Amino acid sequence: MAQQRGASPADRTPAANQRPALTDAVGKRIIELLQRDGRRPFVSIAAEVGLSEGAVRQRVQKLIDTGVMQIVAVTDPLVVGFTRQAMIGIKTQGDVGPVAAALCEIPQIDYVVTTAGSFDLLVEVVCEGDAELLEVLMTQIRTIPGVTHTETFVYLKLNKQHYDWGTR
């Protein structure tokens, strides 16, 4: 659902010829186990992958340090007071990079992706309500130099969200 906070657009550019080094099959398995349960004890992971607890701890830290993964608490926005979520399609004029960088600075935006298609950028906004969404859209997003058009897709129901897609 979201580009992880603290990551710039350049940090997460997918490309067929660019792939982070995932060490090996053991590293991939560690990632898969943590995707299912980010609080799983290293001793339990170690038993499953055939390494010592210390070796698992070092591998996990390296995966975090190199930006391959993050371990975070994923909340349900509705339960923690954010009753309005929306995806906003943005068309730009000129270089999309500065617009994306400015969007990354807006606290209510948790996901920014450069796209091909009818929009140059897609952003996800998480707000306390409609008034905050309107404020963010009108005074923060639409005022960024280079933004020429926005289209807002308000979420009515979250039908699926998961983070256990594994590794390749």
Among 11-15, 44-48, 66-70, 157-161, the minimum mean pLDDT is found in 11-15
Query: What letters, b where the CB count within 10 A reaches 16 and e where it falls short, cover 91-111?
Result: bbeeebeebbebbbeeebbbb
Q: pTM of the prediction?
A: 0.74
Name the segment(s) of the chain with CATH classification 1.10.10: 21-65
Tell me which of 3.30.1330, 1.10.287, 1.10.760, 1.10.10 is the CATH number of domain 21-65.
1.10.10
Arch. (CATH architecture) of 84-154: 2-Layer Sandwich (3.30)
Q: pLDDT for 99-145, tens place per residue?
A: 999 999 999 999 999 999 999 999 999 999 999 999 999 999 999 99
Q: pLDDT for 59-106, tens place per residue?
A: 999 999 998 899 888 888 888 889 999 999 999 999 999 999 999 999
β pairing state of 147-154 and 84-92: antiparallel
Closest by CA position to 36, among listed 63, 79, 66, 74? 74
